[in-house]
Structure 1
């Protein structure tokens, strides 16, 4: 049986929204900017209840949204390195710490499964050969199958800021791990990628929420 596990703060429908507030979650990356990681951080913080409106950050004059935008705009056009992204999350001072996959140990797929099980969203970064620039997306779900009473993950379910807005679904892209190299897939594209990083956003001193599971034969 195919199983998809999603972060519990999501509410899919005609538009993907935050379950508690009903505010839209998907923050779309523009054609000119290199801010995919920034969009992912904003969406992740919204899932953790740290931002109320991740879509309207640039129009906020007060509160955590305004503070986020003040720190984000200098990176908007040229993006962030891995170390810059970790520092950026810390410096927001919103009670969230970055947790990178330590020293490359273990697979990114298993790391993301463990973090999502605890309720923490994960940002993954990858490169497409021969494209030089890296790209980032937010892991909001895990896909896999039950094998001999054990769940075997085989794909990450993503919110990719550069892809189309998800409709009647919680995700708009997948990273599949059923081949030698991971494959990135959307409704219109599919190609192998090289994974660079995985960074979880973990609230400080806060108990994790439960993870919602859904299955289909």
Structure 2
């Protein structure tokens, strides 16, 4: 018998509100329609899952060194955005014990394979996609995979995502966006992925990613 299985990052806690192991706040950092800081919103969610911050929406009011640096960087990239190479350098500058692996630019199938393998190693992955026929890149946080398990063999085919430009993950339960990249019957990867939110479905390609090793969750400050 075949089963559809969802495998979430071990520090993610599904429930009425998607949460993290050591935070009382729901895991979602909302991006406005006016800014280009999607990469920073994804990083804030990673730091919340890791227990390094408690509430991403409160970093402007906190005086700790980490929150102050995060707030300044968010203000710096608010309109211009941020590359994954710049993000890797910034994470190293934070000096809070997070390791990164970078695929700054890659073809779609290469990026899919990178995200899939890094998630399997228990890392969170910030990845970028663009809609087919456009040049605009958007960053989202991959927190797990869904796939078919048959005869004790698991074949992933769909990424479970937190998209900062979308609302909180309520309609889909464990995520607020999904990226369907493989045919479930065969595991063959599609040329284009199908990106689905509560409001729309797009044809997209992944074109970059950065994985972040969170380690054991810390108690939020």
| TM-score relative to the length of structure 2 | 0.84
Structure 2 distance, partners of 1:122, 1:196, is 13
In structure 2, the partner of 1:124 is: 127
Cα distance between partner residues in 1 of 2:98 and 2:169: 26
Check if 1:161 corresponds to 2:172.
no
Q: Which residue of 1 aligns with 2:111?
A: 108
Given that residues 160 and 173 in structure 1 are in contact (C-alpha distance below 8 angstroms), is that contact kept between their aligned partners in structure 2?
yes
Given candidates 60, 63, 68, the residue that maps to 2:62 is 60
CA contact (8 A) 2:161 2:179 kept: yes
Q: Distance in 1 between matches of 2:194 and 2:34?
A: 25
- Give the match for residue 185 of structure 2: none
Cα offset, 1:198, TM superposition: 1.2
The answer as to whether partners of 1:122 and 1:140 remain within 8 angstroms in 2 is: yes
Q: Distance in 1 between matches of 2:18 and 2:104?
A: 32
Residue 193 of structure 1: how far off its partner (Å): 0.9
1:150 to partner: Cα distance = 1.5
**How far apart are residue 154 of structure 1 and its match?**
0.3
Report the secondary structure of 1:193's partner residue: strand
Residue 143 of structure 1 corresponds to 146
Tell me which residue corresponds to 1:51.
Answer: 53
Q: What TM-score results when the alignment is normalised by the length of structure 1?
A: 0.85
Identify if the C-alpha distance between structure 1 residues 76 and 103 changes in structure 2 by more than 3 Å, giving closer, same or farther. Answer: closer
Tell me, in whole angstroms, the C-alpha distance in 2 between the residues paired with 1:81 and 1:103: 10
Asked if residue 170 in structure 1 is aligned to residue 181 in structure 2, the reply is no
Change in Cα spacing, 1:35 to 1:102, as seen in structure 2 (3 Å) is closer
Structure 1 unpaired stretches of 5+: 209-217
1:35 aligns with 2:37: yes
Number of residue pairs the alignment of both structures matches? 206
Contact 2:105–2:208 (8 Å) recurs in 1: no
Across the aligned residues of Structure 1 and Structure 2, the Cα RMSD in angstroms comes to: 2.3
Q: Partners in 2 of 1:53 and 1:187 — Cα distance?
A: 24
Distance between the aligned counterparts of 2:50 and 2:216, measured in 1?
11
Misfit runs of 4+, over 6 Å: none
Residue-by-residue CA offset, 1:5-51 (whole Å, 9 max, x unaligned): 01122223332222323122200000100011110011012112222
* Structure 2 unaligned regions, length at least 5: 183-189
Residue 185 of structure 1 pairs with residue 196 of structure 2: yes
